[in-house]
Structure 1
Amino acid sequence: MPLSAHSRPVRLRRALLAGLITASVVLPVSAAAPPQVPAPAAVRFSADASASERYTASLANLREAARMAEGAGRPERAAKLWAMTAGGAARFLSFDGRGTGRAVEVLGDLDTADRIAVLVPGSDTTLDTYQRFRAGALALQQRLRAEHPRSAVVAWLGYDTPGTVSTTVLTTDRAEDGARKLAPFLEQLRRLGGSDARLSLLCHSYGSVVCARTGTGPRVTDMALYGSPGTGADTAAQLPTEARVWAGRGGDDWIAQVPHLRIAGLGFGTDPVDPAFGARAFDAGAGGHSDYLRPGTTSLDSLARIVLGTGAPTEAPRA
């Protein structure tokens, strides 16, 4: 049936509203534009390089990037990079200080871990905002170790995240690029970690769009989507994974106000916490968009239980 003269402007307003609100996806405060500073090329590793070899070379690369930032008169970037070294104790599987930057850090011991959580961040996560991302990873690792010492967390900043105030945050382009990098990384973890370790993907906001496009093998047992604007899929069954798919949203998360539309390639469609999506629900508590991995929160406890396989607060999968 043709749209009436009244319904056409209503639909247009909904599309414009979707674009404006979705443009704020992931972090409520936009990060400052990263300084353009020189940095060494990322280290290229052979397929059989061990985790310890990667840690040593990546840390050296990070330190060199910090020195180059100092030499270029960028003391703020240099200070942030030096902070990432954690006094020489940081374990990075990879690091690239060019542009907005990429970094993959391990918290815990991959050699002994039989539970590994991979955190996939959303918009505006860069080297300049890395400590905020790392704080959540550290809180999760501490929560896991309190119950299960043989656990590890990987903070995976392995793709160029979209800027909050940009057209890229409205589309799946950056997510598709991220998925092309995340899938082989998960396979790499199979070689670097314990052969029997089970993997969980924890995907925040725009990171849930990345995870929803990532083909996963049988070792990925769980995928948790939280603070999600949508995935671009109509149902959890359409995602390229055999993992259990979970969804949760904090009671004070503003992303609940995002119109879950997909029009002309913009927006991400069905809300993952909608029963129609078919994900398993987990209790995300009363927190806001940036609170999911905050120590002491219900959401952190639920996500830890998903990783450990000890039964997060849940409803049955919803059709």
Structure 2
Amino acid sequence: MSSQRDRVRPARLPGRLRRTLLAGLIATAVAVPVSAAASPQVPAPAAVSFAEDATLTERYAANRANLAEAVRMAEEAGRTGRAARLRAMEAGGTARFLAFDGRGGGRAVEVLGDLATADRVAVLVPGSDTTLDTYQRLRAGAVALEQRLRAEHPRSAVVAWLGYDTPGTVSPAVLTGDRAEEAARALGPFTDRLRRLAGPGARLSLLCHSYGSVVCARTETGPAVTDLALFGSPGAGVDTAAALPTEARVWAGRGKADWIGRVPHLRVAGVGFGTDPVDPAFGALPFAAGTGGHSDYLKPGSRSLDSLARIVLGTAREAGHA
């Protein structure tokens, strides 16, 4: 006997309407719950360029000076809000940035921990609407992860990688992989350079949130990247984990209260990102993500934070097989 689901079939929507509805759903899914207002163009110095053999000390010092100059220029231009947020990033003059660019939405790559001695390094890749004006959300997660790692393994470091122009919460760019393709072309070479800057034998993990998982799914990685975790993901743009351009172990998790799970993981006419990474058919290793929502994966004390830390440390086991 056929089931009720088999007997009752929903009417098929016209193609254009179906694509429009899908686009709206995906826009809601990928967006960060708290939207950042579009930042006006803020004056700032050009980013510092470094020779390949520049030391960590040289990079940190030059970027601190660049950040301080960006604060001064923002204040001089009357951009007091941006100036205050940049001043918070200075962390009293102790922040360590591998890269910093205060122009426009901005870019920043910050190190938490001692990278030079670290043999376990996590790279956090954020999602949509992450700019210098919302940077503290990214940094708070990086701090929580670094503290959790260091409690178990002192030779750990975390890199908060705002190394691309993230799409806005409500914009056509958030519906496609165009920004992700551009970001991936920067992230892959960055991981190679990071390996040379880290401690001997360091293993790297990419931890990719929301639209950041679209970035990681397009990033070609070398052997130094041993693990890739997708969480709060709208999809990877491919049908299976095996199709990703990496030899790393691929993990996927989603908190029970993350509303992104209620959005169809489809791809229509170039809009959307396809198969849900937590679907067993995708083939990723599942990790326990607890009961949290879309912005809670790196919350101190959370199940998801513990799982991600274990992935970085190489002590993780699949959810349900612990």
Among 285, 289, 298, the alignment partner of 1:293 is 298
Among 118, 121, 130, the alignment partner of 2:126 is 121
In structure 1, the partner of 2:20 is 16
Is the aligned partner of 1:189 residue 2:173?
no
- Kindly provide the CA deviation profile for residues 259-312 of structure 1, in whole angstroms up to 9, marking residues without a partner as x: 111111100000000011000000000000000000010000000000001124
1:204 deviation in Å? Answer: 0.1
In structure 1, the partner of 2:204 is 199
1:51 deviation in Å? Answer: 1.1
> What is the SS of the residue equivalent to 2:117?
coil
- Kindly provide the CA deviation profile for residues 60-82 of structure 1, in whole angstroms up to 9, marking residues without a partner as x: 00010010000000111000001
> What is the SS of the residue equivalent to 2:268?
coil
Amino acid at match of 1:76: G
In structure 2, the partner of 1:237 is 242
Is the aligned partner of 1:223 residue 2:264?
no
> What is the SS of the residue equivalent to 2:228?
strand
Paired with 1:17 and 1:281, the residues of 2 have a C-alpha distance of 29
Is the aligned partner of 1:102 residue 2:107?
yes
In 1, are the aligned partners of 2:117 and 2:200 still within 8 Å (CA)?
no
Paired with 1:180 and 1:40, the residues of 2 have a C-alpha distance of 24
In structure 1, the partner of 2:286 is 281
Paired with 1:190 and 1:76, the residues of 2 have a C-alpha distance of 36
Among 38, 54, 57, the alignment partner of 2:59 is 54
Q: Structure 2, unaligned stretches of length 5 or more?
A: 1-9
Paired with 1:267 and 1:54, the residues of 2 have a C-alpha distance of 38
In structure 2, the partner of 1:44 is 49
1:157 deviation in Å? Answer: 0.2
Amino acid at match of 1:191: R
Is the aligned partner of 1:214 residue 2:208?
no
Paired with 2:274 and 2:17, the residues of 1 have a C-alpha distance of 16
> What is the SS of the residue equivalent to 1:247?
strand
1:22 deviation in Å? Answer: 1.1
> What is the SS of the residue equivalent to 1:128?
helix
Among 256, 263, 272, the alignment partner of 1:258 is 263
What is the CA RMSD across the aligned residues, in angstroms? 1.3
> What is the SS of the residue equivalent to 1:116?
strand
In structure 1, the partner of 2:7 is none
In structure 1, the partner of 2:175 is 170
In 1, are the aligned partners of 2:285 and 2:318 still within 8 Å (CA)?
no
Paired with 1:304 and 1:10, the residues of 2 have a C-alpha distance of 46
1:195 deviation in Å? Answer: 3.0
Which stretch shifts more, 155-164 or 20-29? 20-29
In structure 2, the partner of 1:3 is none
In 2, are the aligned partners of 1:26 and 1:204 still within 8 Å (CA)?
no
Q: Structure 1, unaligned stretches of length 5 or more?
A: 1-5
**In the superposition, relative to structure 1, how do residues 259 and 14 fare at CA in structure 2: closer, same or farther (>3 Å)?**
farther
In 1, are the aligned partners of 2:210 and 2:231 still within 8 Å (CA)?
yes
1:8 deviation in Å? Answer: 4.9
> What is the SS of the residue equivalent to 2:271?
coil
> What is the SS of the residue equivalent to 1:152?
strand
Count of matched residue positions in the alignment of Structure 1 and Structure 2: 311
1:21 deviation in Å? Answer: 1.6
Paired with 2:187 and 2:267, the residues of 1 have a C-alpha distance of 24
1:30 deviation in Å? Answer: 1.2
Among 153, 162, 166, the alignment partner of 1:157 is 162
Among 82, 86, 89, the alignment partner of 2:87 is 82
Paired with 1:13 and 1:296, the residues of 2 have a C-alpha distance of 43
1:50 deviation in Å? Answer: 1.1
1:250 deviation in Å? Answer: 0.4
TM-score, scaled to structure 1 = 0.95
Is the aligned partner of 1:314 residue 2:319?
yes
- Identity, % of aligned positions: 74
In structure 2, the partner of 1:35 is 40
Which stretch shifts more, 41-50 or 20-29? 20-29
